[in-house]
Amino acid sequence: MAGGIFSPLGSYSELEKANCHPLVCLLCHEPYQHPCLLDCYHNFCASCLRGRASDGRLRCPLCGHPSVVRGGTGLPPVDRLLQFLVDSSADSEEDVQCANCDRCCTKAEMDTMYFCNTCGQPLCAPCREETHRARMFTCHEIVSLSKRTKDIHKKCPLHEEPYIMFSTEKKSMLCINCFRDMQGESRAHCIDIETAYMQGCQRLDQAVMAVKELQTSTREAIVLLKAMIEEVRNSASEEEAAINSLFSQMQEQLSDRKKTLLKAVQSQHEEKEKAFKEQLAHLASLLPTLQVHLVTCSAFLSSANKAEFLDLGYQLMERLQRIVKLPHRLRPAQTSKINSEYRAEFARCLEPLLMLSPRRSIVGSAGGIGPGITGTNMLPGGQCSKTLMVPSCPPASDKMSTGPMVKKPTMHRYISTKVLLAEGRETPFAEHCRNYENTYRMLQTEIQGLKDQVQELHRDLTKHHSLIKSEIMSEILQKSLQMDVQIAAHYSAVEMMRSVFEEVWEETYQRVANEQEIYEAQLHDLLQLRQENSCLSTITKQIAPYVRSIAKVKERLEPR
């Protein structure tokens, strides 16, 4: 089948679900047919890879790593090692018949079959004991059927002679003729087949150990990454919940403050409107009085003679002066601007939510994660210990029992602490975290020992129905009380550090706030300078024509 019809594996989760047999292709899910080895050390059938190469490169369907393809076939080289395993597997599935008694063995009896490399024939266990124990067969090489030597591996294909040596320089087997044709320097790197086999096994064991270490590290990295992915998912959920909660609280606060501000605006509006209406009524009543007296003055001047003027004129003038000197509110006593300072009020109502809200506490009352699972059930590596799950007991200390509940489990704290310490910053809180982790591990180990003892007692009671000494229970209870005292003391010591850390956190917050204020002021100053420079440029452009005109006039007048 052409390889182009297969789609690449979408993710490693599909690989986990797929058949991971070492001799089965991950694309066609069939035993390998001419397995090819890519540069990323992934194997696929030649038919599955055919047609996938482009411009001399072939991308791995599993990891996407590009491999250079040479030759006109468009395929990577055949994996001889995997092909050998496939052929060996196919040979093991064939029916084997004893060469002596013609007895056919089943697949279950394959492990009991033998093979004589000298005769080149398979033997069953009875025939091996009865026939090949004779003196004439003492020089025959008899091995298990799975380790039989094939003809292709016995003789040199060039000289048709049996292999007797191995070159550690060329990593190839040699017959007597190949050994004679070699130069003297190369012969020094030749050893016998048995020694080469032993050395090869030792080196293979070393390589296997290195791969096993890499496998262990890879699994640990996968566990850590899965934990980090879960942590990212939980953190995103917590952040979304916090955002929604904060937004709801902000909406409530803003809604309440909005009602208060609208009432204040309405109150100011009513007060100012009342004051302006009173002043308007006073001025409206003053205007007819002034009009009447002006008309009176005009009529008096036109109708009174000198004697009448001197008799009544000064009285009229005094009246007019008294009218002018009366306190008349001609100017508004207050501005028409209604100022509620709503921006400052809105910011002030949001300050407790945005600035002064306390951090979410990660200190727990008893290290509990959930019903029946406590913080000590979680190992530092993130693995749950297989111990007896008992409901969390209330602590002896009232202070601990009334403390805030745990919002983040032990695994979250362990990862966060590990990241904090990996940053390498020497701060009081980092030093406190190091001391805390050491003490916590010691307490965790003690609690784990008590759990193991209780689990054994519980198993003995439920399964074996054996008698248990009361002294053991007394010792466990005594140790439990001692551990409770130690945990309470450690909790109190950690709680005493709260004020110190809160002071440091407050100083950090104030420093950040000051830096933000300075930064905004710097931007404001630069914008102000830019605005002043723009005004100067505008003025210069406006007076430039007049300056040039005066300069031309001055040039004309200077010769005169």
Query: CA 560, CA 555: separation in Å to the nearest integer?
Result: 10
**Residue 85 pLDDT:** 77
**Residue 556 pLDDT:** 73
**Residue 363 pLDDT:** 35
Cα 418 to Cα 370, 378, 414, 425, 490: the distances in Å are 23, 15, 6, 12, 21
Residue 374 phi/psi, 5-degree rounding, is -110, 170
pLDDT-based confidence at residue 466 (cuts at 50, 70, 90): low
345-364 mean pLDDT: 62
Query: CA 450, CA 440: separation in Å to the nearest integer?
Result: 15
Does pTM surpass 0.85? Answer: no
Q: What percent of the chain has pLDDT over 70?
A: 76
Task: Say which residues have a Cβ less than 8 Å from residue 258's Cβ, sequence separation at least 6.
Answer: none
**Residue 338 pLDDT:** 85
pLDDT digits (tens, 9 = 90+) for 469-513: 667 777 888 888 888 888 888 888 888 888 888 888 888 887 788
61-77 mean pLDDT: 81
Which neighbouring-strand residues pair with 116? 121, 142
pLDDT digits (tens, 9 = 90+) for 378-397: 333 444 333 333 333 444 44
**Residue 503 pLDDT:** 82
Mean pLDDT computed over every residue of the chain: 75
**Residue 262 pLDDT:** 93
**Residue 265 pLDDT:** 92
**Residue 355 pLDDT:** 63
pLDDT digits (tens, 9 = 90+) for 286-322: 888 888 888 888 888 888 888 888 888 888 888 888 8
pLDDT digits (tens, 9 = 90+) for 209-257: 988 888 888 888 888 888 889 989 999 999 999 889 989 988 998 999 9
Residue 463 phi/psi, 5-degree rounding, is -100, -50
Checking if the pLDDT of 366 tops 50, the result is no
Residue 495 phi/psi, 5-degree rounding, is -65, -35
Residue 221, CB-side half-sphere exposure with 13 Å CA sphere: 6
Sheet containing strand 114-116, strands side by side: 121-123, 114-116, 142-144
**Residue 385 pLDDT:** 38
**Residue 357 pLDDT:** 42
What does DSSP say about strands 368-370 and 172-174: parallel, antiparallel, or unpaired? unpaired
Helix (H) or strand (E) holding 354: helix 342-354
The better pLDDT of the pair 1, 278 is held by 278
Q: Which amino acid is at 123?
A: L
